[in-house]
Amino acid sequence: MTAHPLRLDHLVISARTLDEGTQYVADTLGVAPSGGGAHPLMRTHNRLLNLWGGVYLEVIAIDPQAAEPADAGAPRARLFALDDPATQARLEKGPYLSHWVARVDRPKRLTAWQAQYPQRIAPIVPMTRGDFSWGLSVPDDGAFPTWEGAGDGVLPSLIQWDTLRHPSAVLPETGIALKALKAVHPQTDAIASQLRWLGAAHLIALEPTEGTAALIAEFETPEGLRTLK
């Protein structure tokens, strides 16, 4: 385990459009995500929902209004596998809990950690949205993080904020708290090994399955227990 255990930063709901993702969260949790903005580099945009304890929920989708790169080169792949045909086919069936992001707090420097272990941590990409700036681990192909061939969104991306404020500090209170983050995966040994190495095993409950990998998040809301998956 790393000497600096990670913290949960946010959960990711992938959607075909922001409106579809917002409606899914609102129907389930009773509160609609709002605010957010565009990620110019990734040609995506989002809306956010505050959760108790400095955590938030992100709805993300391809931004249809995003400008193409000014240079002649091909645009980089969007994050969270949004360009993957398999992801797009799944999104045709509706939004879903696709991923989660773990926070690397200072004084540990995420860029230095990645440079030391490039086989374990994807390249760190500088990103911005409005007044916020951060570094996020993003594989060059935009896929989810993997270890020994296992991933499927169950292994977290890593984030380090450059701005003093965290998005949760400026989002409206919702009265909603994450009760548990769970995952099922057919390759639990590889997933568990990487989670322990990252210092993130305490953030998620992992169970084996012979079926498809999936994330499940349970929330305490003013209306009772609710689940996103």
Q: What CATH number is associated with residue 12?
A: 3.10.180.10
Task: Quote the percentage of the chain above a pLDDT of 70.
Answer: 96
Give domain status of residue 195, yes or no.
yes
Give domain status of residue 161, yes or no.
yes
Give domain status of residue 152, yes or no.
yes
The C-alpha atoms of residue 196 and residue 5 are separated, in whole angstroms, by 9
Number of domains in the chain: 1
Query: Which residues, at least 6 apart from 73, have a Cβ–Cβ distance to it below 8 Å?
Result: none
The C-alpha atoms of residue 81 and residue 60 are separated, in whole angstroms, by 11
Please give the mean pLDDT across all residues of the chain.
93
pLDDT tens, residue by residue, 99-117: 999 999 999 999 999 999 9
Give domain status of residue 156, yes or no.
yes
CB atoms within 10 A of CB 207: 10
pLDDT at residue number 129 = 84
Give domain status of residue 60, yes or no.
yes
Residue 13 and residue 228 in contact, taking contact as beta carbons nearer than 8 Å: yes
Give domain status of residue 2, yes or no.
no
pLDDT at residue number 70 = 58
N- to C-terminal Cα distance for the chain?
Answer: 28
Kindly tell me if the per-residue pLDDT of 53 is higher than 90. Answer: yes
Please give the residue range of the domain that contains residue 126.
Answer: 7-228
Give domain status of residue 185, yes or no.
yes
pLDDT confidence of 3, banded at 50, 70, 90? low
